[in-house]
Each structure stands twice: as structure tokens, then as C-alpha cells.
Amino acid sequence: MTRIFSKSVLGFSTALLFMGCVTTALVSTPIENIDATPLKITDLTEDQKKNWGHLDLVSDTIPGMSVNKAYAEIIGNKKGRKVIVAVLDAGVDLKHEDLDDVLWTNKGEKPGDGKDNDNNGYIDDIHGYNFLGESYNEQLEAARIVKLKLGDAAMQAKAKTKVDTEYGKAVQSKQQYEQFLQAVKNAHEGLKKELNKSDYTKKEVSAIKPTTEAMRQNVGAALQAFSFADDLPSFIKLLEDGISHFSDQVNYNYNVNFDGRKVVGDDPYDITDTKYGNGNPQSRSESESHGTHVAGIIAAERNNGKGINGVANNVAIMSIRAVPNGDEYDKDIALGIRYAVDNGAKIINGSFGKSFSPKAEWVYDAIKYAAEKDVLFIHAAGNDGVNLDEPNEPNFPNDQVNNGTEIADNVITVGALNSKYGGELLANYSNYGKINVDIFAPGTDIYSTYPNNTYEYSPGTSMAAPAVAGIAALIRSQYPKLTASQVKKIILESGLAPITKVMLGGDTGKTASLKEISTSGKIANAYNALIMAEGVASGKIKI
């Protein structure tokens, strides 16, 4: 799974180098030309930061999905039918105050008796299933290919180049972060003494006239830090997160000698070896937060006076623990999709992805199986800032081979947006592609649930995908007779279609319109989608 540990720290990596270290009349939200919407020039308020993905472009000048407007003007008190949404991800904190009342419960299973009461092939699967057992830290697929000599010679050569290059980068980055962390800590201690206070501003630091070399270095390091954070303690936390990220790459992700799977006890490259894992998809630690964050975006309890509101109001979250701190195994994803389908999920959210997939056919078959059973699969586009249509830039799983015909019409691949409308709308990390990315949704700095009844901001296409899964859940709840294929088309055709060009990969010299870098050319919009869904369900709109 491609993670973004911090937008600010990613930017800081570059700084270190410089230091030497189809619209219908029923769809009413878009004005005649949404590019006439005035740009928001003031910073987001705290409330807007926590809620920007639910806001409305026209009324708020923030490129959200008009979720609040959809509830106020369309849904109201209408509950609809409960929809099971599978979160195929890391484990979810099933005890979280904002999630505990929206969990799927397998009523055919008796908790803790060690038996497969409902004969679905899985023991004690009360709220989902755990395909990782007690494992979590893992290699990336490239390291496994090198170690086990998987795939053909071309795949092995590409994987080895990737591992050798990225391992070296991770080692170097870890060392640079550790060095600067010490410098910032020293600066913080020195400035506290100099200013006789522990909480100081950039202006106060800038006013210091250093009389020693040590103080000059302290001031320089602090001013660098203020470019990325509001204060030095916050920046120290960002650096520590960065060190943890690169340590994971060195110790686990690109370490060809690491074996995180041995505690599971199965052969991950044998699809017939299915007797593994357990019925407890609970997250195992605070650091295993990804699944919890994703689940909250979709369906955190609405209007309960706690934390956040999820996009969808009538959802049962099925937790399927299959994504480790590294790359997911094709077998776990294929079996996870089938588990979700066989146990009643109508939507599966897959906020994961990888650049190598030696057993991709297993996942393709599972996606086709989901399509046959009328289940929608929402997938994150990935966080490498690249064009997925290029032959050397895949992000698995996808819904076609070599940019060919789609294998099924039930997959929506989602790219990520920033909260700033205009040229900087596309998140610099978001992958894109006219063939491989369907639509875009809010993804940067999304506030959602974290383990132990906490809440945090996280960026990534991993956050954009569940936003769209939430819209799909709203549609399937209010209009349960619509098929997965129809829901996909409604989401893609009902979005907002800006004409303005956006920067690609954060490169000011490389721009394109959303129409040029995605299938729909649009921003997902809940309000529009529900209006169009009503039209399709009533037969007034043909798609």
C-alpha cells in the first residue's frame, strides 16, 4: 500500500537536498461554467479543515462533494436501505466511539465458540475477517519477487532495480532525517533558553541577532522548520514520523531477507491454501490506523456529537484485514473480495495499490466475480504523482490489462484533490490517467477516525476512494434497485467538470484539464449523483 506519511515532510525531503543534507438538466449544482467560481483567498477555518470534503464548490468556493447540501436538500430524514460496505484494508478499530454502532455483524455466527456456525468457511467472523493473522509489517512485492524469483525475467529485473534503488534512497533519507532531527531538537532547546519561553513565534526567532555560531545554527534550523510547521515541537513530530517511515522501508519493505508472513503459516502464492487467518479484523496497534481512517470517511456515525460525520448515513462496515504495512498479497485481496461478496457487501473499498502483481489474475477473477454478483469496487489511484496510462507505471489492482478493454464494469478508480480550487486542485501526489483513473475526490488532509477514539488528518488517494464509496453507499441505500454498473455511471456522469488546467505531480510546467487525465474529467459530487440516481431509477434519465 502506497502511504503518504506527511505532505509537509515529503516537501521537506526536497529541502534537505538544497541544504546539502455528462450533465443533465436535473443536475443543478454546476453553474454554467464552474470555472467562474471565485477562488478562495482566505485560509480554511478549523471547521472547514475538518469538513472540507463535504462542502460545496459554488456556495463555499471549496471543491468538496456537496455532501452537506445533499443531506439538507435531498436526503433529509430519509433512511433508505442499509448497505454493507466492506473496508478491504488494514484492521479497523472496532471499538472506536464513532464506528462501533456502524459495524456489520454476522448474525449467523456465534462469537468465540471456535466454530464456523454459518458454514461460510470462516470461523468466528463476527465483524469481518482477518487474512493477516498476527502479521503486519511486510515487504513490498518487488522485494518478494527478488527473494523468491517470482514472475518472468523482465519482472525480476525490474523488481531488482526498484529494490536496489529505493533501499539506498531510504537509508540515505533516514540518516538525513535523523541528523536534522537532532539539529532541530538542539535549536528548540537553545531558543527556549534564549527567549526564556517554550512557545515562541517565527517573528520572534527572526528578530534574534546571533552572537555565536551555535545560535546562528539554531536560528537557521528553526526558520527552516517554520516553513513546514507552525512550531518546532510539531515539526519534530513530523521528522519522527519521517524516520519511522524510512525505517520501515529499510527494515521491512525493501529488505529482501525479511519474512513477515511466516507467522501466518500459509503459502501466500497458493490460492488453494485458504485455511489461515482468523475472525478478528481489529487493528493491532496505534500505528495500524489506515483502515480505521478509511472506515470513518465512509460511515463514521453522523450527528452523534463526536468526531466527524461519515459521508453515508445508513451503512454497516465490514472490516476485512488484508493490507499490511507493506504490499498486500494478491491472494489476500482476491479472497477478501470474494469474502465481501459472499457475505452481503454491495460496495468494497480498496484503498491500497502496488506496482507489481505476480498473481494479478487471481484478483481479476475476484473483480469479475464481484461484477457478476452486482458489487461495486472502489479503488485508490495511488500516490506516486504519475500517469498510470504509461506502460511502466501500473497500479494494481486495475480493471484492464495493458490499457485494454475493461474486464468488468464495476470498478471506479479515484484520484485525489486538494482543498484549493484552481491550478493547484489536483494533489501533487495523486496518480492520474485518461484510461486508468475514473474520477477525482477530496483526498488531502482529510480528518477522520484513528485508533483509540482519536481523530487525525491524513492525505492520499486512500482518502479519496472512501469518499466516493460513501456516495455509492448513499445511492445504493436510497435507490437499491440500481445496479453496480448504473451506480458507477451515475457517479462518473454527475460530477462537476472544471475546464481549468491543473498542475500534474506538482510541476508548474506540466498541466492538463481533468478531462485529459481521467475518464470522466470530473469531481465526484453527492448532490448531483442523488439527483441523477432519482432520474435513472424513475426512468427519466437513460445511462
Question: CA-CA distance, 129 to 361, in Å (whole number)?
Answer: 22
Q: How does pLDDT run across 468-493, given as a tens digit for each residue?
A: 999 999 999 999 999 999 999 999 99
Question: CA-CA distance, 154 to 272, in Å (whole number)?
Answer: 27
DSSP β-bridge partners for residue 378? 349, 412
Cell of 78: 430519509
DSSP calls for 278-296: BS--B--STT--HHHHHHH
pLDDT at 35: 72
pLDDT at 24: 39
Q: In which band, very low, low, confident or very high, does the pLDDT at 79 lie, cut at 50, 70 and 90?
A: confident
* Residue count (the chain): 543
DSSP calls for 190-214: HHHHHHT-SS--HHHHHT----SHH
The yes-or-no verdict on residue 32 having pLDDT over 60 is no
CATH superfamily, domain 44-138+260-538, is Peptidase S8/S53 domain (3.40.50.200)
The yes-or-no verdict on residue 215 having pLDDT over 90 is yes
Q: Please report, rounded to a whole number, the percentage of residues in the chain having pLDDT higher than 70.
A: 94
Q: In which band, very low, low, confident or very high, does the pLDDT at 382 lie, cut at 50, 70 and 90?
A: very high
pLDDT at 9: 46
pLDDT at 18: 33
Residue 58's Cα: distance from chain center in Å? 26
Question: CA-CA distance, 323 to 130, in Å (whole number)?
Answer: 10
DSSP β-bridge partners for residue 496? 523
Q: How does pLDDT run across 97-119, given as a tens digit for each residue?
A: 999 999 999 999 999 999 999 99
The yes-or-no verdict on residue 13 having pLDDT over 90 is no
Q: In which band, very low, low, confident or very high, does the pLDDT at 121 lie, cut at 50, 70 and 90?
A: very high
The yes-or-no verdict on residue 318 having pLDDT over 50 is yes
pTM: 0.93
Other C-beta atoms closer than 10 Å to the C-beta of 117 total 15
Q: How does pLDDT run across 189-209, given as a tens digit for each residue?
A: 999 999 999 999 999 999 999
* Residues 500-511, mean pLDDT to the nearest whole number: 93
Q: Is the dihedral of CA 301, 303, 308, 311 positive or negative?
A: positive
| Element of type H or E holding 371 | helix 360-372
Residue bearing cell 472506536 = 96
pLDDT at 19: 36
| E strands in 443-530 | 446-450, 454-458, 502-504, 507-512
pLDDT at 392: 87
Q: How does pLDDT run across 508-535, given as a tens digit for each residue?
A: 999 999 999 999 999 999 999 999 999 9
Cell of 364: 481479476
